Amino acid sequence: MPFPQLDRQNLRIRPLSARDSKLRADRDCIHPGHAPEDLPDRVREAIRRTADGIRQARADECPVMLAFGAHTIKNGLGPVLIRLMEEGWVQHLATNGAGIIHDWEFAFLGRTSEDVRANTAAGQFGIWEETGRHLNAAILLGAYDGFGYGESVGRLIEEDGHRFPAAEELLEAISDAWESPIHAERAAAAADLLSVMKRVGIEPGFEAVSHPWKSVSVQGTAYRLGIPFTAHPMIGHDIIYTHPMNHCAAIGRAAQRDFLTYAACVSRISGGVYLSVGSAVMSPMVFEKSFSMGQNLALQDGRRITGHRIVVVDLAPSRWDWGQGEPPVSSPDYYLRYCKTFSRMGGEMSYVTCDNRDFLRGLCAVLCGSG
């Protein structure tokens, strides 16, 4: 027996421009040109060691991966990440669903972040037209075209709009479902897209969506440069799920592609560097499953993933030397979950207690020649 469901069609959805946003691209984005001042010696040393590891990894043609939480974008570090990509220091970026949203809102409106307490009390938190419409549309279209989640939104930003196919094209794709497993996957994505277009009344053709602030967009730049930017969402966690255009099957298709793209890079991480910045849940959880799969395949080939470096950056203090492995259960540091997870992943793991703005600005300055 089906249980009752909330009907999103009845929500009163307001335009994004009506929202009071806390952060502005023209005021809060950080210029990557200068290192932060007055860093503790332990942080400067951690940045230097991390930069040395990245230089060695790139000299050996091994990947450098950077996974981060949404506050990295909210803290205005988009231009810093862009500089690291443009100069070839990072080969893969990964974030959660909120990181995607804040990056897109900066690119689209030049503003992001709302007052959760006040807007929840008013029944308005997260219920904004453009964020819900355009990100869900980008993912629906991306899933149909075989794109990942982050790649789909990056394309929207770079191309300044959506290209909705005609119903005849989608129906033809659906009719080809039996030809092969690939055709069946595309048929399912076509059915998802067609159902949403019909339900909300979208006409085929190009729908322009301008992004005046795309120069600060990490995922837009990643799409332009051909660098994987993967998103690792959880159903119901992000504000795009409040919009009637949301279709979780499409999100699952795009996110699955991103997960396997991420896992493929982790499988090549031997000799490389993995940076986990301000991500207490997504980064360690997705990494450990990806690493296990990669190790499984490597061992079948008589190899082993080894020689990698993991650098974890967050604000929580830790008194434990994570280079010695994980602490005993009696230690409070044992329950610093993300450190414990990464300490089990082999290679060399270090933890830096630091504000992500200081760490990434400092790292960028050292690697890019201004610090």
- pLDDT average per 10 residues of sequence, the chain (371 residues): 92 96 95 84 96 98 97 97 97 98 98 97 97 98 98 98 98 94 95 96 97 98 98 96 97 98 98 96 97 98 97 93 88 90 95 96 90 50
Task: Report if residue 162 sits inside a domain.
Answer: no
Task: Report if residue 158 sits inside a domain.
Answer: no
Q: For strand 161-164 and strand 205-208, is the pairing parallel, antiparallel, or unpaired?
A: antiparallel
pLDDT at 370: 60
Task: Report if residue 177 sits inside a domain.
Answer: no
Q: For strand 205-208 and strand 64-68, is the pairing parallel, antiparallel, or unpaired?
A: unpaired
Task: Report if residue 22 sits inside a domain.
Answer: yes
Task: Report if residue 269 sits inside a domain.
Answer: yes
The answer for residues whose C-beta is within 8 angstroms of residue 226's C-beta and 6 or more apart is none
pLDDT at 364: 96
What's the order of all strands across the beta sheet hosting 92-95? 229-231, 92-95, 64-68, 273-277, 309-314, 348-353
pLDDT at 36: 86
pLDDT at 38: 87
Task: Report if residue 96 sits inside a domain.
Answer: yes
Bridge partners (DSSP) listed for residue 23: 112
Q: Could you tell me if 46 and 354 are in contact, meaning their C-beta atoms sit under 8 angstroms apart?
A: yes
pLDDT at 353: 95
d(C-alpha 151, C-alpha 257), whole Å:
10
Domain containing residue 101: 10-127+215-367
Task: Report if residue 134 sits inside a domain.
Answer: no
* Number of domains present in the structure of the chain: 1
Q: What is the pTM of this model?
A: 0.96
Task: Report if residue 1 sits inside a domain.
Answer: no
Q: Output the domain CATH number for residue 286.
A: 3.40.50.10690
